[in-house]
Amino acid sequence: MARTVTAQRKAINTGVAWVIGLLIFFPILWTFLTSFKTEAQAIADPPVWFFFDWTLENYRVVQERSNYTRFLWNSIYIAGGSTILGMIVAIPAAWSMAFVPSNQTKNILLWMLSTKMLPAVGVLYPIYLIFIQLGLLDSRFGLTIVIMLINLPIMVWMLYTYFKEIPTEILEAARMDGAGLREEILFVLTPMAIPGIASTILLNVILAWNEAFWTLNLTAARAAPLTAFIASYSSPEGLFYAKLSAASTMAIAPILILGWFSQKQLVRGLTFGAVK
């Protein structure tokens, strides 16, 4: 029997979904609202919702006190750089695993994934010491490499599932149609792989952008990205909620906007292969 959904049931479901959605979104909304309040309004009890004196003061102060653009640039450098480097490694890796698998391919994939199960803090000391030895501490380059390595298993896995979906018969058809390796890659493989590559890039940029553990531990001032920028407002000046909120809003805005415009790609990427 097919499931019948009554109008009432539907209304309840919709209502519940909205409540859950708002609950999840609430902290972001609250941060956003607080960033426009004065410090006094930010800690007012009972809290003020929308009817307060909207002010940009916090943003001005934050920008004055710390150089937002420098943090932003570091974030872009690290997220972009680790993604580009990661793709250079992940595309050929996933490619060969998908199209010329050996009998160890499955094991390698699982082994790569298993590294994600290790708590990151477990390797903090070794990596910290290596960084000191190599003089990479507080350098954007060092951080880019680490974040690339952290996210590499996810990139390879994601690309692998995408490439796996490309039927080999299509590549064989191209060969029969007179395409050499160059034409095969250019006209057949690449156009078919682009959606997968795009989703992977997008997800990786977001993961790298939000990475806080390594950025906080391996940077101090020069290479600190936006995550460190937020953190700098939370610890020593804990009571300045409005300014902390302004800093947070500025830090998450770029990635939020990117995510918003590419949500379709992203969702497809995350659920790809789940339903055939």
Partner 1 sequence: MGRIVLEQVTKSFGDVTVIPPLDLTIEDGEFTVFVGPSGCGKSTLLRLIAGLEDVTSGSILIDGKESADIPPAKRGLAMVFQSYALYPHMTVRKNIAFPLRMAGMSREEQDRRVERAAEVLNLTDYLDRRPGQLSGGQRQRVAIGRAIVREPAAFLFDEPLSNLDAALRVGMRLEISQLHNRLQTTMIYVTHDQVEAMTMADRIVVLRAGHIEQVGTPLELYRNPRNLFVAGFIGSPKMNLLEGAEARKHDAHTIGIRPEHFTVSTHEGEWSGVVGVSEQLGSDTFFHVHETGLAESVTVRADGELDIKHGDRLFLTPRHERMHRFDRDGHRIA
Which is closer to partner 1, CB of 138 or CB of 183? 183
Task: Give the shortest CB-8-to-partner 1 separation in angstroms.
Answer: 38
Of 75, 102, 82, nearest to 200 by C-alpha is: 82
Task: Give the shortest CB-195-to-partner 1 separation in angstroms.
Answer: 10
Task: Give the shortest CB-184-to-partner 1 separation in angstroms.
Answer: 9
Three-state secondary structure call for residue 102? coil
Which is closer to partner 1, CB of 154 or CB of 189? 189
Task: Give the shortest CB-187-to-partner 1 separation in angstroms.
Answer: 8
Contact (CB, 8 A) for 213 and 234: no
Task: Give the shortest CB-164-to-partner 1 separation in angstroms.
Answer: 15
Give the integer Cα–Cα distance in Å for 158 and 92. 13
Of 256, 251, 242, 275, nearest to 48 by C-alpha is: 242
Which is closer to partner 1, CB of 21 or CB of 180? 180
Which is closer to partner 1, CB of 46 or CB of 178? 178
Neighbours of 244 (CB within 10 A): 23
DSSP codes of every residue in 212-262:
-HHHHHH-SSTT--HHHHHHHHHSTTTT-HHHHHHHHHHHHHHHHHHHHHT
Contact (CB, 8 A) for 132 and 151: no
Task: Give the shortest CB-194-to-partner 1 separation in angstroms.
Answer: 9
Distance of CA 25 to the CA centre of its chain: 17
Contact (CB, 8 A) for 92 and 202: no
Give the footprint of partner 1 on this chain (CB under 8 A): 167, 169-170, 172-180, 183, 187-188, 191-192
Of 90, 118, 121, nearest to 212 by C-alpha is: 121
Which is closer to partner 1, CB of 163 or CB of 229? 163
Which is closer to partner 1, CB of 195 or CB of 254? 195
